[in-house]
Chains A and B, each alone.
Chain A
Amino acid sequence: MDGPVSPAARCESDGRVSVVNGAFDAFLAATVRTATPLALAALGELVVERSGIIDIGLEGIVLAGAFGALLGGGSGDAFAGFLMGAAGGVLIASLFALFVVTLKAEQIVTGTAVNLLCFGLTGSLYRGLYGATGAALSLSTTPPVLVPGLVRIPLVGPALFSQPVITYVLYALIPLLWWWLYRTHGGLALRATGENPDAARVAGLSPARFRWGALLVSGVLGGLSGATLVLAQSGTFAEGISAGRGFIAIAVVVLGRWHPVGVALASLLFGATSAMQFLFQAMGWAVPYQLFLALPYVVTLLLLAGVAGRVTAPAALGRS
């Protein structure tokens, strides 16, 4: 379903059904594909924001993760690639934590600086290591793994259960994170830190330690998100490959109301609006391509307007 559908295919009634079905499958697959790196990064940011910090340096973390994955996975070992991706993310998250948590620097400003730094570092290292043109580099992507049984679920089965391993890791993370946040002492303490760090301190907790921990977790997840882009999806690295996904993930956290399941659903929704082009093409609707590209952002803005007034952010968010 890559190109526009030929008119002939749309005229025949039988042909039309199969084309639309095929388009629908492509739509669902693209939805999950777009949602996966987004949800990974957003879950990390969720943990950070629950601790009372907003990290717009997430974009840089994803970028560093992608570059780490290139370094680690260049030899063809995908596991090493994901490991290095996570390490790259952790490195950048630690830099952010050092400034924001330890040195108490302003969060938005630090995030901006971190993004600039990552953009410059990955860009110049990439050109330095792989040549000025960034000669078309191609890594083999991790193959999709079919989950026996589940993949046969009608309609959504193939889209949800014929995915690279990292997507299943994400599926497992969502309930795990929910359980940790709402059913363990650690999760309660983290949320307390985000609501009222002073009270948490009086209760004998160390907000700084929880925030450092939260940022390290988001470093791992954001790094994996970048590694997913390189190793499971595009099979190559390009300057600025994160293409704003870190920023979108921050919006997704708000849309998902700071809840793991909400964040997963919001990621799917963003993925679905991005993937809408497959449906529109099959229908033969002539909407300019660039307007498609803008659609997810417009939908996100509209939903934020509807949602943000009615949700409660962690009370201490953004104050250091």
Chain B
Amino acid sequence: MRRLARAGVVLAALLLGVLLLGAALGAAGYDAPRALRALWNGSLGSSYALTSSTLVRMVPLALTGLAVALAFRAGVWNIGADGQLLVGAACAMAVGLGTTGFPGSLSLTLALIAGAVGGGAWAWIAAVLRTRFHVFEVITTIMLNFIALDLVAYLVRGPLQEPTHAYPQTVALREAARMPRLLPNSRLHAGLLIAVLAALVIWWVLRTTATGFRIRTAGSNPEAARVAGQIDVVRLTHRALVSSGALAGLAGAIEVTGVTFALYEDISPGYGYTAIAVALLAGLDPLGVLGAAFLFAALESGALAMQREAGVPSVVVAVVEGALILFALVVARPGHRAWMARSRPQRAVNRTAESRS
């Protein structure tokens, strides 16, 4: 019931946001009705837009959104989903291209695993820096995003570059090793099923298992978790961050095997950052993440159509997304406030301070 109420509030806010956007565009001299029509047609207005644009874009947003939600629930600020996605994509591509002798489905499976492992390993760096060296993960995960971007830029001009060395990208993945299509004549691929499955698994783990209980407890009150619940909070946050990275890495692997079929630098238009908005708007609820990812995917797909057809800069959706988060912070407090009031983002630093005094 709370979930439904929340969805209603978010939908109303989104609708209001879109109307305000239309008013602002009209005031700025754009053809507002035309722009809003393009927004609708490009996102939900046709079955092609829905399956080939919105749902395709929903997959990386949902998986990185789940990554962020899982980390935040455990009290870890993973701002690095974008870097983890990139490293996952690079690892998946390397394995996918390196296993051309294998049957396609095996090659694909290995590539997906490599993506998850790569993303997890990238987050592991931040996890070690936090648990062993007490460096606040907000800073390290952001630094790692930049390093990942440079790493991919290097790979596609160095070891992984296509043989003619004309373009900064890899060769295309062979057909057999790509993600299978879900519908004929559409770009929709099986990654959507993986994203939905991941959401269900995380929801179930958080809700019913002992691990889930530990994660929720550690995230909401680490001191109580450690003292009364005898939970090894350090180990738990470490694992949560690595799992979060693995999810983001999987998103990258699915993106290269299902959508782009090649690795290049701007493979992610900031999925990992939008993911934070997705997770927050969903109130960090795994099932809610699916809904929020769908909304944001529709918004971004529509924005691209708006740019094509009405000349409206597509970055304008970032304004709507940012405003939606601010709105969620203030208006949609119930459900949100509970975890916010209890979370202690600077725990690692504070603990350092305490252990010194």
Contacts and interface: CB of A to CB of B under 8 A. Distances in A.
B150 A290 contact: yes
A250 B77 CA distance: 15
A121 B312 CA distance: 12
A56 B157 CA distance: 32
Contacts of A153: none
Interface stretch (A74-82, A219-227, A228-236, A294-302): A294-302
B340 interface: yes
The secondary structure that dominates the B interface is: helix
B153 interface: yes
B255 interface: no
A254 B139 contact: yes
Contacts of B136: 254, 308
A105 B329 contact: yes
Contacts of A108: 77, 79, 138, 345
User: Main SS of the interface on chain A?
Assistant: helix
Interface stretch (B115-123, B240-248, B319-327): B319-327
B273 A116 contact: yes
Contacts of B350: 313, 315, 317-318
A132 B326 contact: no
A318 B316 CA distance: 30
Given A300-B143, A319-B344, A106 B150 contact: no
B146 interface: yes
B147 interface: yes
Contacts of B139: 247, 250-251, 254, 304
B251 interface: no
B168 to A, nearest CB: 10
A312 B318 contact: no
B346 A318 contact: yes
Interface string A111-128: 011111111110110011
A119 B290 CA distance: 25
B99 interface: no
B154 to A, nearest CB: 4
A97 B280 CA distance: 20
A112 B79 contact: yes
A9 interface: no
A124 B276 contact: no
Given A116-B325, A300-B143, A123 B353 contact: no
17 contacts: A54-B346, A105-B340, A108-B77, A112-B273, A113-B323, A114-B322, A115-B273, A116-B321, A124-B315, A127-B315, A250-B139, A254-B135, A290-B154, A298-B147, A301-B140, A308-B135, A318-B344
Given A127-B315, A304-B140, A308-B133, 14 more contacts: A56-B138, A109-B276, A113-B323, A115-B322, A116-B319, A117-B322, A117-B326, A119-B315, A128-B28, A250-B142, A290-B157, A312-B352, A315-B353, A318-B344
